């Protein structure tokens, strides 16, 4: 069964000086256990699509289903964990309390909360930082804590909106390889928005290339890379070939844009 | 030229030492009348040695204290102060200024720790103000009706503790505290209601605005008619004064949580109350405490002024209004002193609680956002 299915999906933001078409005719099916990256220049609707899956935006046309339900039903069923561009940890809560936040809201018992917080913090290598406050941690650690928070209630779908965009490259590489391991271990379905080509190619089983005005899918690239990916896979010809395809796809989207300028 | 002193500090030191030397010369005809003052003049003059050798800033502080004590002991009774006493006052003041100036420079430069020594500066400032007040009022024979010296106010404070305590209980414990609690809680509750309903927002915010614009001397007599002469009417005035700042601040604070923080709650399918209690109220904390601090001083002012418009024969406002009429000005000042201390302490307690509750806010932990 597909986890996410979009058919002729469109989303238009009304604006004073003419409507903004954020998404137009998007058709996409994401299967269970896939790691799908969305890449494209800003304004291509990749974040909007992710937010539509999360029921944070309402599509204006077409159909979108998550786990066979409407996005709203899926959200109410707590079908996904969402990682935002910023860590958005609540500064008045310690790291463990931040990770426990969704568990508190969803009504987990104290013992269960404690066990899950311990397990997910271990998963993102933050054991020992339970009692720290977010502002006492580095940006990379904060983002890891926010990933732990999204994982703590064990939803099968993980939506990640440029989670490492604000981090430096060394930290980003490190978190990328950790994310891959985590995906491998948990078997979750991951939708990952990025504007970095190497990041998209390195992480994904499938890369969705998007272009702006109106936001639409211009290419979907299946990755031929093996599941096991050490960091130096990025120097292999296979990797570079996929990266070149993605770059071509992005360029095609851009030339379309330039025709209209 | 010495390197460890700025030009301004050197200038202050020269003025202080020079005035002390001048004072020494002028006090020679009456030498022996005020030994402590003479000692201050002599040592103050000797401080001009700072041009040649290092002179500790603590010695400057000591000189200021010596000058103040010598002057206070030598104050003539019932007649104007001789000229060299005025010189002593200015010299001691200059030494105190120099002391504080050098102390804060040393703290800035990191050669002295801030904790502890940082407290010395405001204390020095306050004491200097009291000494100048005392010396000027007594030395220049200012009529006590215009401005009594602090010593007279202090004496009255000690002598009338019973009256002052009764007034404090009536005004602060009975009027301010209940009024403050009711006003702030009501403001908070209405803010939450207003936040939830656009209809209420459109209806109540203008009324709140209107209430805040009402002059307190207008509502006070009306409250006396509604709630009687005793503390209830004063508490009602305090409620009216504290309600609006809390309402406006809380409404603003409830919108302080960022879009991402709210989206996060939505992705958990959190209900309204969960979002309120776990995100929006904590995020509004700094705003709410702002209102609590503003209200802590507003409440006391409101209660005291309200007592001018009818009260039983007790209360800080009552004492002030009748004290002025009976020319018992030192009692009025004693009452003002009690009000100032109570108001500051109230504010201080709220500020302390704020530090504990909103410890996470960048303004409290001194970090970046």
| Residue carrying structure tokens 């899918």 | A217
Whether B19 and B46 map to the same domain: the answer is yes
- Is the pLDDT at B196 greater than 60? The verdict is yes
The torsion angles phi and psi of B75, rounded to 5 degrees, stand at -60, 125
Q: What is the mean pLDDT of residues B137-163?
A: 89
Q: Averaging pLDDT over each range in A83-92, A221-230, A232-241, B4-13, which range is the top one?
A: A83-92
Nearest chain B Cα to A93, which residue?
B360
Q: How many domains does chain B have?
A: 2
- Is the pLDDT at A261 greater than 50? The verdict is no
Whether B87 and B191 map to the same domain: the answer is no
Whether B128 and B175 map to the same domain: the answer is no
What are the distances in angstroms from CA A83 to CA A50, A71, A154, B93, B260?
A: 11, 17, 14, 62, 10
Interface probe, candidates A90, A99, A138, chain B, greatest B C-beta count within 10 A: A90
Tell which of B117, B142, B167 closes a domain.
B142
Question: Which of B269, B278, B368 is opposite residue A75, by nearest beta carbon?
Answer: B269
Residue B349 included in any domain: yes
Percent of the residues in chain B that have a pLDDT greater than 90, as a whole number: 39
B360 shares contact with chain A (CB less than 8 Å) = yes
The CATH number given to whatever domain includes residue B225 is 1.10.3720.10
Whether B100 and B211 map to the same domain: the answer is no
Give A85→chain B minimum CA distance, Å: 9
Q: Collapsing DSSP states into helix, strand and coil, what is residue B3?
A: coil
Nearest chain A Cα to B269, which residue?
A76
Q: Which helix (H) or strand (E) holds B301?
A: helix B281-306
Residue B147 included in any domain: no
B26 shares contact with chain A (CB less than 8 Å) = no
Question: Which of A88, A102, A135 is opposite residue B268, by nearest beta carbon?
Answer: A102
Confidence tier at A16 by pLDDT (50, 70, 90): confident
Whether B133 and B206 map to the same domain: the answer is no
What are the distances in angstroms from CA A22 to CA A11, A216, B339?
A: 6, 8, 62
- Is the pLDDT at A204 greater than 50? The verdict is yes
Q: What is the pLDDT of residue B274?
A: 92
Whether B277 and B241 map to the same domain: the answer is yes
Residue B83: which residues within 8 A CB-CB, separation 6 or more? B26
Closest residue by Cα to residue B300 from B247, B353, B344 = B344
Q: What is the mean pLDDT of residues A131-156?
A: 90
Q: Which residue has the higher pLDDT, B258 or B115?
A: B258
Whether A65 and A162 map to the same domain: the answer is yes
Domain of residue B18: give its range. Answer: 7-142
Nearest chain A Cα to B358, which residue?
A92
Tell which of A136, A154, A172 closes a domain.
A154
Interchain pair B269, A86: CB under 8 A: no
Confidence tier at A255 by pLDDT (50, 70, 90): low
**Residues written for chain B:** 369
Whether B118 and B192 map to the same domain: the answer is no
Q: What is the pLDDT of residue B367?
A: 53
Whether B132 and B171 map to the same domain: the answer is no
Q: What is the pLDDT of residue A168?
A: 82
Alpha-carbon torsion B23, B28, B30, B33, what sign? positive
Domain of residue A229: give its range. Answer: 2-79+157-260
Interface of A with B (CB under 8 A): 54-56, 75-76, 78, 80-82, 84-86, 88, 90-92, 101-102, 104-106, 133, 135
Tell which of A154, A176, A211 closes a domain.
A154
B325 shares contact with chain A (CB less than 8 Å) = no
Q: What is the mean pLDDT of residues B46-60?
A: 84
Q: What is the pLDDT of residue A260?
A: 46
Average pLDDT value over all residues in chain A: 87
Percent of the residues in chain A that have a pLDDT greater than 70, as a whole number: 96
Chain B residues in contact with A76 by the CB 8 A cut-off are: 269
Residue B108 included in any domain: yes
Whether B136 and B245 map to the same domain: the answer is no
Confidence tier at B369 by pLDDT (50, 70, 90): very low
Question: Which of A76, A86, A104 is opposite residue B269, by nearest beta carbon?
Answer: A76
- Is the pLDDT at B348 greater than 90? The verdict is yes
Whether A121 and A235 map to the same domain: the answer is no
Nearest chain B Cα to A161, which residue?
B260
Chain B residues in contact with A90 by the CB 8 A cut-off are: 261, 278-279, 282
Whether A137 and A181 map to the same domain: the answer is no
Whether A236 and A145 map to the same domain: the answer is no
Q: What is the mean pLDDT of residues B239-258?
A: 91
- Is the pLDDT at B230 greater than 90? The verdict is no
Whether A23 and A98 map to the same domain: the answer is no
Whether A164 and A249 map to the same domain: the answer is yes
Tell which of B142, B168, B199 closes a domain.
B142
Confidence tier at A82 by pLDDT (50, 70, 90): very high
CB pairs under 8 A between A and B: 53
Q: What is the pLDDT of residue B287?
A: 95
Q: Which residue has the higher pLDDT, B262 or B206?
A: B262
Residue B149 included in any domain: no
C-beta atoms surrounding B113 within 10 Å? 10
Interchain pair B267, A82: CB under 8 A: yes
Q: Which helix (H) or strand (E) holds A63?
A: strand A61-66
Tell which of A154, A184, A208 closes a domain.
A154
Q: What is the pLDDT of residue A17?
A: 79
Give B288→chain A minimum CA distance, Å: 15
Residue pair B8/B100 in contact (Cβ under 8 Å)? The answer is no
Whether A233 and A106 map to the same domain: the answer is no
Per-residue pLDDT of B199-218, as tens digits, reads 888 888 888 778 777 787 88
Q: How many domains does chain A have?
A: 2
The CATH number given to whatever domain includes residue A244 is 3.40.50.300
Chain B residues in contact with A106 by the CB 8 A cut-off are: 268
Whether A178 and A256 map to the same domain: the answer is yes
Give B314→chain A minimum CA distance, Å: 45
C-alpha span between A207 and A200 (Å, rounded): 7
Whether A198 and A222 map to the same domain: the answer is yes
Residue A84 included in any domain: no
Whether A123 and A218 map to the same domain: the answer is no
Nearest chain A Cα to B270, which residue?
A105
Whether B133 and B162 map to the same domain: the answer is no
Whether A184 and A249 map to the same domain: the answer is yes
**Residues written for chain A:** 261
Residue B174 included in any domain: yes
Whether B355 and B235 map to the same domain: the answer is yes
- First-to-last CA distance in chain A? 42
Long-range contacts of A18-21 (CB under 8 A, 24+ apart): A21/A213, A21/A214, A21/A215
Q: What is the pLDDT of residue B1?
A: 44
B272 shares contact with chain A (CB less than 8 Å) = no
Whether B94 and B195 map to the same domain: the answer is no
Alpha-carbon torsion A84, A85, A87, A90, what sign? negative
Of A22-26, B72-76, B352-356, the poorest mean pLDDT is in B72-76
C-alpha span between A131 and B181 (Å, rounded): 34
Residue A179 included in any domain: yes
Of A47-51, A221-225, B60-64, B164-168, the poorest mean pLDDT is in A221-225
Q: Averaging pLDDT over each range in A37-41, B180-184, B364-368, which range is the top one?
A: B180-184
Whether A150 and A37 map to the same domain: the answer is no
- Is the pLDDT at B95 greater than 50? The verdict is yes
Residue pair B9/B98 in contact (Cβ under 8 Å)? The answer is yes
Residue A196 included in any domain: yes
């Amino acid at each position: 069964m597909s986890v996410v299915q979009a058919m002729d999906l469109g989303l238009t933001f009304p604006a004073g000086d003419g409507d903004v078409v954020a998404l137009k005719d998007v058709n996409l099916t994401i299967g269970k256990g896939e790691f799908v990256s969305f890449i494209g220049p800003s304004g291509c609707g990749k974040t909007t699509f992710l937010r539509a899956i999360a029921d944070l935006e309402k599509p204006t046309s077409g159909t979108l289903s998550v786990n066979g339900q409407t996005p709203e039903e899926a959200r109410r069923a707590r079908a996904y964990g969402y990682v935002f561009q910023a860590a958005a940890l609540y500064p008045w809560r310690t790291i463990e309390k931040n990770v426990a936040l969704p568990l508190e809201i969803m009504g987990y018992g104290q013992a269960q909360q404690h066990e899950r917080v311990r397990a997910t913090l271990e998963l993102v290598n933050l054991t020992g930082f339970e009692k720290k406050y977010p502002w006492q941690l580095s940006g990379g650690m904060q983002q890891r804590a926010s990933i732990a928070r999204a994982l703590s209630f064990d939803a099968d779908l993980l939506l990640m909106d440029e989670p490492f965009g604000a981090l430096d490259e060394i930290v980003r590489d490190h978190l990328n390889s950790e994310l891959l391991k985590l995906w491998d271990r948990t078997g979750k379905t991951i939708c990952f928005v990025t504007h970095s080509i190497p990041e998209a190619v390195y992480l994904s089983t499938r890369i969705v290339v998007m272009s702006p005005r109106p936001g639409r899918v211009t290419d979907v690239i299946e990755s031929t890379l093996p599941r096991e990916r050490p960091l130096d896979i990025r120097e292999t010809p296979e990797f570079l070939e996929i990266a070149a395809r993605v770059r071509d796809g992005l360029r095609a989207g851009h030339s379309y844009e330039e025709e209209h300028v | 030229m010495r390197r460890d002193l700025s030009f301004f500090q050197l200038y202050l030191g020269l003025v202080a030492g020079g005035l002390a030397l001048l004072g020494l010369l002028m006090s020679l005809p009456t030498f022996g009348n005020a030994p402590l003052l003479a000692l201050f003049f002599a040592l103050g003059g000797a401080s001009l040695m700072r041009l040649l050798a290092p002179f500790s800033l603590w010695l400057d502080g000591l000189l200021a204290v010596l000058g103040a004590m010598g002057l206070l002991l030598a104050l003539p009774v019932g007649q104007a102060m001789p000229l060299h006493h005025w010189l002593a006052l200015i010299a001691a003041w200059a030494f105190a200024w120099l002391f504080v100036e050098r102390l804060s420079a040393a703290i800035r430069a990191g050669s002295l720790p801030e904790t502890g020594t940082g407290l010395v500066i405001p204390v020095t400032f306050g004491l200097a103000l009291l000494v100048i007040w005392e010396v000027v009022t007594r030395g220049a024979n200012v009529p006590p009706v215009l401005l009594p010296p602090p010593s007279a106010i202090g004496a009255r404070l000690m002598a009338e503790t019973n009256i002052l305590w009764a007034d404090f209980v009536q005004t602060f414990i009975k009027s301010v505290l209940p009024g403050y609690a009711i006003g702030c809680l009501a403001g908070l509750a209405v803010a939450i209601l207003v936040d939830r309903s656009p209809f209420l927002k459109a209806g109540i915010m203008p009324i709140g605005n209107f209430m805040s614009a009402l002059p307190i001397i207008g509502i006070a007599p009306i409250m006396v008619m509604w709630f009687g002469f005793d503390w209830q009417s004063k508490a009602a005035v305090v409620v009216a004064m504290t309600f609006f700042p809390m309402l406006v601040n809380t409404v603003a604070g409830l919108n302080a949580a960022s879009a991402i923080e709210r989206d996060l709650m939505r992705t958990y399918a959190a209900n309204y109350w969960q979002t309120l209690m776990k995100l929006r109220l904590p995020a509004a904390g700094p705003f709410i405490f702002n209102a609590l601090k503003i209200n802590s001083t507003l409440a006391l002012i409101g209660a005291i002024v309200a007592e001018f418009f009818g009260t039983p024969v007790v209360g800080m406002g009552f004492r002030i209004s009748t004290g002025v009429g009976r020319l018992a000005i030192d009692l009025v000042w004693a009452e003002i002193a009690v009000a100032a201390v109570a108001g500051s302490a109230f504010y201080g307690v709220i500020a302390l609680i704020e530090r504990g509750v909103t410890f996470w806010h960048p303004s409290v932990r001194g970090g970046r956002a």
